[in-house]
Amino acid sequence: MTPEQNDSVGIVVPQTLHFDQPLTLACGRALPKHDIVYETYGSLNPDKSNGILICHALSGHHHAAGIHHADDRKPGWWDSCIGPGKPIDTNVFFVLSINNIGGCNGSTGPTAINPDTGKPWGPDFPPLRCRDWVESQYLMMQHFGISQWAAIIGGSLGGMQAMRWALEYPDAMRHCIVIASAMKLSAQNIAFNEIARRAITSDPNFFEGRYLEHNTLPRQGLALARMVGHITYLSEDGMKQKFGRELKTGNLNLGSGSDSDVEFEVESYLRYQGEAFSGSFDANTYLLMTKALDYYDLAREYNDDPVQAFSHAKCAFMVISFTTDWRFAPARSREIVDALVAANKSVSYAQIEADHGHDAFLIPIPRYMDVFHAYMKRLKQELGHAL
């Protein structure tokens, strides 16, 4: 490892854990068996009290830190926060990052083979709720012999999973760190998700979700869905700073030629993002995940009272939001904080100035890193680790 890489977890190898026991889902159906792909960073201490679970967002997966080979130029999606000396310090903590069921990065999902048919699950894969991911993560916890997580941490949809953990298994965690998240989606968020889903299902190569059986992919629809989603993850100021009205090709001067030659930088960027995503992500997984996101409502079975819901939690909370995040606005994080305070729970809150919109939770913004570091020092102190 070179000096400039001494804060990296280095080369990591994804692993697969197979579960033969049926997993009963919230919809009433069960997966007869399933696989979970995961990565770990750091080592468990003797009493297994230093475990941290990372919950991923909509298009996330198990590869959260490090690289997969020496020439890998794309580290894990949260490499800025996980590693030696980073906020989630792998010199101190054992970190588990998994690809949720329903995913398309190796864990059992729509692209996996349905044992009843011998064909890909496709649209027949059972609908999921956030609590289903918690249940499968709990099986992973048991596999590693961990009785209580030092913390469960997640951004966006990952933060929703972390909060669900606090209600479903209140004794199984000491800290819950919720970043750029909400207790339920707004109507506007649901609307954006529906537009993205409609883009996919309207693709002529969708074949009612059985595109793999037709040896094709709804790439155009999935690319459009990603483009719509990506716009909502960015802020207006951030897009202005990054792209402005700069041209990739062509000229806007009168008499300079055909307007068909004109392409703005932002157009080129969105097309690239859409095309790359459509070749790496599964359309049925996208439909499944966005529906689970839409259905999430932390307080639904608690008389729609978030204070009553959080009264079941026993852990301490850290909540972080970002000023230009309009997809999961700071107001949604303050709702979480207000409910926790009213439920007499220990909670810290930070609102971070950032121009990056919802994507800010993935970016090493200095104050964000300082706040994250400071809170994680509390966890180190609890473990008796010298600072």
In angstroms, the CA 210 to CA 160 distance is 30
- Number of Cβ within 10 Å of residue 208's Cβ equals 8
Handedness of CA 198, 299, 163, 370 (dihedral sign): positive
Residues of the chain with pLDDT under 70: 1-5, 239-240, 243-264, 386-387
In angstroms, the CA 115 to CA 111 distance is 12
Which residues on adjacent β-strands are paired with residue 149?
173
Do 200 and 222 contact (CB within 8 A), yes or no? Answer: yes
Tokens encoding 170: 């209140």
325 noted as active-site residue: yes
In angstroms, the CA 236 to CA 234 distance is 7
In angstroms, the CA 200 to CA 277 distance is 13
Give the per-residue pLDDT at 246: 65
Give the per-residue pLDDT at 241: 73
Binding residues for substrate: 226, 359
Binding residues: 226, 359
Residue 368 Cα distances to 48, 67, 157, 321, angstroms: 28, 24, 19, 9
Give the per-residue pLDDT at 4: 43
Closest of 226, 228, 326 to residue 285, by C-alpha: 226
Looking at 89, 132, 325, 355, which residue is catalytic?
325
Tokens encoding 151: 């913390």
3-class DSSP state of 162:
helix
| Beta-carbon-side half-sphere exposure of residue 9 (alpha carbons within 13 Å) | 32
In angstroms, the CA 355 to CA 240 distance is 10
Is the whole-model pTM more than 0.85? yes
In angstroms, the CA 105 to CA 202 distance is 24
Furthest C-alpha separation in the chain: 74
Give the per-residue pLDDT at 141: 98
156 noted as active-site residue: yes
Q: b/e string for 19-52 if b means 16 or more Cβ within 10 A? A: beeebebeeeeebeebbbbbbbbbebbeebbbbb
Which residues on adjacent β-strands are paired with residue 11?
67
Beta strands in the chain (DSSP E): 15-19, 23-24, 30-31, 34-41, 51-55, 94-99, 151-155, 175-179, 247-249, 263-264, 316-322, 347-352
Q: Annotate 48-78 with DSSP letters as a single string.
A: ---EEEEEP-TT--S--SSBSSTT-----TT
Q: Vertex 260, ends 256 and 265: CA angle to 5°?
A: 90
Looking at 80, 97, 156, 181, which residue is catalytic?
156
Residue 207 Cα distances to 123, 225, 243, angstroms: 10, 17, 36
In angstroms, the CA 96 to CA 139 distance is 13
Residue at 171: amino acid letter: D
